[in-house]
Amino acid sequence: MTKRHFLSLLDLTPAELQKLILRGIELKAQHQCGENKDLFQGKVLGMIFEKSSTRTRVSFESAMLHGGGGAIFLSPNDTQLGRGEPVEDTARVLSGMVDIVMIRTFHQETLEKFAQYASIPLINGLTDNFHPCQLLADMQTYYEHRGSIQGKRVTWIGDGFNMCHSFINAARQYDFELRIACPDSHRPDANILAAAGDRIQVGNDPQWAASDSDLVVTDVWSSMGHEGQQDNRANIFAPFQVNNEVMRRAHKDALFMHCLPAHRGEEVTTEVIDGQQSVVWEEAGNRLHTQKALLEFLLNTV
């Protein structure tokens, strides 16, 4: 069998992605009965974090522990990566010591280089380009509440950055319509957009984007790495808040999602994120289950 990586949602076929959702649901039910114990017996996950994390770290580490395996947290501060050891050398060394690696870093190219030199599977735990693991949890959460997302209308409001790019890829792979409302200065990458074809529409009016929507999603206005631009961004993004007025444009049974961490009063109001339509806690919790399904898939296809 050939080694597979998960650097973006496009690395798996739509059928494989759908299977992961169903398997995530199955593993969740088994976890609730105290099962999952032998999934990763004797397996070790290496986790390189060049940016902060709560959910990604804890969900991956817990997934491995529940399955009888282990996970090693590696930060550039405490490893030779931070002192300039090349990623291609790190990839070859880790390939001899662990079974699978997850990296959270800035540039997608760092992941691609690691993947090129590694002989083990690699998972994207978030880059400036994509956050595919989050989308697995989001798609599982939608499926659990509303069934198939195929043909539904999804609304992205906010920064055309990593999460927005992953929603564009998800629209291709899970076959839904995506309306994006973002400032003209923060549109998604033109190539990622072009590759997704006419199922994606981009504008700068949140009310238009949310009209008749089945799922409304947003993310922080200043992602990790944008800290110095925070004040300017707060002004630019102020018209792109998800509030009750925006949610009223969506279908009555529309869901609200946010990958978290959230800033109440900025990209989303307290009423919306803590309201009836919000599924953010399940969405965060599902990271554990879909990532177990992903780890199982990648470890078993090596």
For 73, counting Cβ atoms within 10 Å of its Cβ (0-12 exposed, 13-18 middle, 19+ buried), the class is middle
Taking the complex as a whole, how short is the minimal distance between the CB of residue 49 and ligand NVA, in angstroms?
12
**Residue 54 near which of ligand NVA, ligand CP, none (CB within 5-8 Å, type-dependent):** ligand CP
CB atoms within 10 A of CB 291: 27
Exactly one of 5, 11, 66, 134 is catalytic; which is it?
134
- Tell me 33's DSSP state: T
264, β-bridge pairs: 268
Structure tokens at 94: 């880790």
Rounded to 5 degrees, what angle do the CA atoms 9, 144, 139 make? 15
Taking the complex as a whole, how short is the minimal distance between the CB of residue 163 and ligand NVA, in angstroms?
5
Q: Is 164 a catalytic residue?
A: no
Give CA–CA dist 219/216, Å, rounded. 11
Count of residues that interact with ligand CP, criterion CB under 6 A = 8
Q: Is 33 a catalytic residue?
A: no
Cβ-closest position to ligand NVA? 223
Is 224 known as a binding-site position? yes
Q: Is 201 a catalytic residue?
A: no
Candidate segments 31-39, 48-56, 226-234, 271-279, binder of ligand CP by CB under 6 A? 48-56
Q: Can you say whether residue 36 is alpha, beta or left, with left for phi > 0 and alpha for psi between -120 and 50 degrees?
A: left
Exactly one of 11, 99, 214, 219 is catalytic; which is it?
219
Any idea how long the chain is? 302
Taking the complex as a whole, how short is the minimal distance between the CB of residue 55 and ligand CP, in angstroms?
4
Q: Is 92 a catalytic residue?
A: no
Residues that bind ligand NVA in the complex, under the rule CB under 6 A: 126, 161-163, 219-220, 223-224, 259
Q: Is 287 a catalytic residue?
A: yes
Exactly one of 66, 287, 289, 291 is catalytic; which is it?
287
Q: What one-letter code names the amino acid at 270?
A: T
Among 259, 272, 280, 294, contact with ligand CP (rule: CB under 6 A):
259
285 binds ligand CP (CB under 6 A): no
Is 235 known as a binding-site position? no
DSSP characters over 240-275: G-B-HHHHHHS-TT-EEEE-S---BTTTB-HHHHTS
Residue closest to 22 by CA, chosen among 290, 208, 218: 290
Q: Judged by CB, which is closer to ligand CP: 210, or 259? A: 259
Taking the complex as a whole, how short is the minimal distance between the CB of residue 37 and ligand CP, in angstroms?
25
Residue closest to 100 by CA, chosen among 138, 135, 133: 133
Taking the complex as a whole, how short is the minimal distance between the CB of residue 125 and ligand CP, in angstroms?
8
134 binds ligand CP (CB under 6 A): yes
- Tell me 229's DSSP state: G
Residue in the structure block whose two tokens are 């990763």? 40
Among 55, 152, 165, 179, contact with ligand CP (rule: CB under 6 A):
55
Structure tokens at 152: 């539904």
Is 269 known as a binding-site position? no
Residues annotated within a binding site for carbamoyl phosphate = 53-56, 80, 104, 131-134, 259-260, 287
Residues annotated as catalytic (active site), given as ranges: 104, 131, 134, 219, 259, 287
